Structure 1
């Protein structure tokens, strides 16, 4: 897209971008009648040159033009990128709700939009497929094919349900429990911790569409063990998550499968999807701040696999000890 733009196909390229966001040209240095200070105008240019690794170097005039603010984009149109952590509001220079964007930044935003839409589409397809039972013939064919495919190295050992063992949590979960800044706190608390802690504590079987009510007799495991840990992490965020987003309490229960509520009942389980723990790749993309691999992360693709493997290793080390120890709770 950027190459087409440089060759003179600006209008064609802008039409593609406008399928995601509303783009308006900057008239001179004015956005919505307000002129950008000259100092800020050139600071934005230099910031983009720095991002491209060109600041302080001899740059072709045509390249320089790609780094000068030329377009204005409504910041609200960028919300999908903000939600996925691919862009931060503090990175934008806003005037009357419009962000000043250079051509090179515009194409970068476009590529991020394509990536987000693709990721959302694949997740949607995965969710739909996980809820559909394939025809028996497909199951039989799949079983035969699986016999010919090498087994995955990643595995999930059978573990007993038991008290959560914090010392065996992966680094990303430990960081999330310690509290996160505004840019990643929603993902860390409402998505990562909520799914990881609930699955790790309840240890459901591999049903395609699990519901918590199928594995527990009451909500005490959640209300007395899992939820206090999640709420504690939310309070340790800076700023505390619920201080300016109290609705996230209901969102946590929504991710646990009880619908959007703060007062769930066991029979409500299944009103929404019980979200699975995001894999390591998703964490790296949406919350790279959390991803600091340790020596146990090798060949691990999901935080739950890390936890189950550490439990199994400890059980083996103590020759059959109970992996559901009750120590080291938060």
Structure 2
């Protein structure tokens, strides 16, 4: 029988495992039981490179799996098959809590690292459920759902994120008075007397599918994981963190970028005739004509859109993440600039100087546009950058050439560098590549 904690490490059972674990210093020691279980996992590749020998190794393997699963086109499940072995539930629960605490201490709650871990937990749950026989799977799903309910029910509003992600449609859910009806007993209690010519049990099977329950379960555990990490983050300022947790967190700070860097170099494109453009100091000589004119100052009429919409998005992406249009990642400014130093010292001064160059200076008669600039960087409607506000608004991507022609026609004066280009960021990448090559020669 699969343990509840194998699917939900935040369950009562999971918390009991943590309470009884003992000295955290032993997470760095070789664990014979862990090695035995991993080695005898069906279809697992056997090599010192693949088999974790300690809880510390298992924690890093979980993160490595998450990164490779997301980025490696040649990902091999057999290298991580032990992660779907339910005999590993004790070690897995301990490792989960170690990672939650280390991530909470080392990273911001909205950071790329935190999102990576939380999302990977949801993926891992679905993969584990898929390997459980159908009858046992239905039972374990109901057991987990019983624990994650809030006040005995699941409100549909708690799933707004998963609905927004399009992984689940609102029309897939059976909702009664704001509650999502998932379990058979609940369904029969609410609706059994409404069916006269059909079996209520049969209608339950038709209306509520297992895949919906699995998606909801996965999302709810992800949500609980996010909340758990936030609580640890808040507590970390008041309590002393175990040195072992701090050590793991510091190791993750180097490990995650190193592993991610194997697949994602933050390049503006994937090679081709003009090669790849790496994120780095802005080169004004490579700015396309519309950006050069904006930096030099725009007259009233087009000031607001030129500074707030065009320059803010262009400068931030050109400096921090020039490959945005070649990537499917959902990124934030702090993913590339964790302490916001680059944004504060390089990007905002460029934007504010351009605003001062306008006629009349933009902030003299419209000081609220500073708030709009902060908003377009993804930090909400505030007058200064604050990592705690990140995510309140979206980090806007650069305007296309087509939109510039429509909304800012006075800035669109193409030169030969614009040929075949549909976005000023692409033009910048090409010109910067050419200038860099010319300097090497």
TM-score normalised per structure 2 = 0.37
TM-score normalised per structure 1 = 0.49
Larger Rg: 2
Decide which structure has greater strand share.
Answer: 1
Decide which structure has greater helix share.
Answer: 2
